[in-house]
Amino acid sequence: MDRFFLYDDQEDTSTRFVSFMGEEQRYDLAIMQSTRFYGKLIVMDMQYSRFAIIGSDDLDEPGYLEHVFNRSEKEAQELREYLYELVH
């Protein structure tokens, strides 16, 4: 079978592992930085096995974190507050 690759690149990334307790929940995250996604972060929620590519525009989008990380509004707000510190 012939494969048609759209891209196959290797890139050095920086990964930060963070675990913190909020008022609502514990958060266990792996946060990757790369030049590939226009300065956005790849945020992996290791508890829920979900990930998203996130920038400040995504954090400002109502309901976005609730949807992609399957979190309640209060939990997503705690996560949003932390991620704002990283992207600004």
Question: How high is the pLDDT of residue 61?
Answer: 95
Task: Assess contact for 87 and 41: CB atoms under 8 A.
Answer: yes
Domain boundaries along the sequence of the chain:
14-87
Look at residues 38, 22, 39, 34 and name the one whose alpha carbon lies nearest to residue 88: 39
The tens-digit pLDDT sequence of the chain (88 residues) is 899 999 999 999 999 999 999 998 999 999 999 888 888 999 999 999 999 999 999 999 999 999 999 999 999 999 999 999 998 7
* pTM as predicted: 0.88
Give the CA-trace dihedral at 30, 88, 25, 32, to 10 degrees: -10
